[in-house]
Amino acid sequence: MNISLVIPYLIPTAEMKVALLSDLPLPALKILLARASSTRNNASGGTEATLCQHFGIAQQSDWPIAPITLLADGGEPSRHFWFRADPVHLRATRDQLMLVDSGAFSVSQSEAEQFADAFNSHFQTDGYVLYPLRPNRWYLRLDSQPALATHSINAVTGKHIDAYLPSGAEALAWHRFYNEVQMLFFSLAVNSERDARGELTIHGLWCWGGGVMPDILPATSSKLLTNDSDARALAFAAGVPNDKLPDDASGIDQPALVLLDALSGAAQYGDYIGWREAILQLEKSWFAPLLTQLKSGKLSSIQISTYTEHNTVTWQTRRSDLLKLWKRDNLAKSLTIPA
């Protein structure tokens, strides 16, 4: 039996590495990475690319997350072009704006509909229609496909947005569109009410995952285990069994692809303590039990994949690799960002 783990933000940024990895007791992870055969590819599309490739979903101008999650959320993609248009807060830092996603604030369905009503009234002649199918998952339908490429909200959260704005022939028009949405949302009473309650205001939309509903052949992939609703929507579209993440690895009795995103929020917002606490929990609940299963022969191999902004990194540890005692357990070296 083989287990594949996808762990976003397992490799810390260079400025965080020393603070995060110093004195961390992670014996199981150290062994799994040190004894593994590793591959590093100079390409990274993040979690979305990893999962779409795994499920046989072809890339369009973006990885077409929007129409797939729209279908899972009860919408009808038809042959329209869709963007995810998720609500965001923009935090001013010096002369730049940092994106804060809905993981850091709550929005009710009633509020989402108020934002959408104002948007649809304002842009009714522009061919844009906004659908807030879930409080924090909104969808933008376009009359035609724009000449545009975007970055996923996961890639931009906690970062300054300038380097991640849409690119392509229509980029400047969409930069103006973003500014217009910000001015519209700033004037809304629903935002004033949020501010009065001490809640983060919603400054705009982040459009990503654009595409039309792809033709997807049923995949033969292993069962997906994750709490991420977008990932489960992709599995559903590909006809792959999926379920919520168990508390630990002890109950897994079949080959599985496991998305462990416990490090994401802390890494995105530079929460050093949160990252250290999360990886210690992963060691206890996942790395240590899986290493025990590998040693006993219940597992034949463990694959761990992660990515940086420019690289995808994969470690493959087979049972026979555990005998390579000459491979030193140097976690900092294993988790060094590729040049």
Can you give the pLDDT at residue 339? 53
- Say which residues have a Cβ less than 8 Å from residue 85's Cβ, sequence separation at least 6: 130, 138, 139, 140, 205, 206, 207
Can you give the pLDDT at residue 14? 72
* The pairing of beta strand 242-243 with beta strand 204-211: unpaired
Can you give the pLDDT at residue 37? 92
Give the CA distances from residue 250 to residues 247, 278, 286, 289, in Å, rounded to whole numbers and listed in that order.
9, 18, 8, 7
Give mean pLDDT in consecutive 10-residue pieces for the chain, a chain of 339 residues. 94 75 86 91 81 90 96 95 98 91 96 98 95 97 95 94 96 97 97 97 97 86 92 91 94 92 92 92 97 95 90 92 80 71
Can you give the pLDDT at residue 311? 83
Can you give the pLDDT at residue 22? 73
- What does the chain come to in residues? 339
Q: Where are the domains of the chain?
A: 2-57+219-334, 65-211
- Residue 36, both tokens: 């593994």
CB burial readout 82-104, b (16+ within 10 A) else e: bbbbbbbbbeeeeeebbbbbbee
CB burial readout 30-53, b (16+ within 10 A) else e: bbbbbbbeeeeeeebbbbbbbbbe
Complete DSSP assignment for 239-283: T--EEPPPSSGGG--S-EEEE--TTHHHHHTT-HHHHHHHHHHHI
Query: How far, in Å, CA of 6 to CA of 37, rounded?
Result: 16
CATH of domain 2-57+219-334: 3.40.720.10
Query: How far, in Å, CA of 189 to CA of 102, rounded?
Result: 20
Query: How far, in Å, CA of 308 to CA of 327, rounded?
Result: 24
Query: How far, in Å, CA of 54 to CA of 49, rounded?
Result: 8
Q: Are 279 and 25 in contact (CB under 8 A)?
A: no
123: left (phi over 0), alpha (psi -120 to 50) or beta: alpha
The burial class, CB within 10 Å (0-12 / 13-18 / 19+), for 254 is exposed
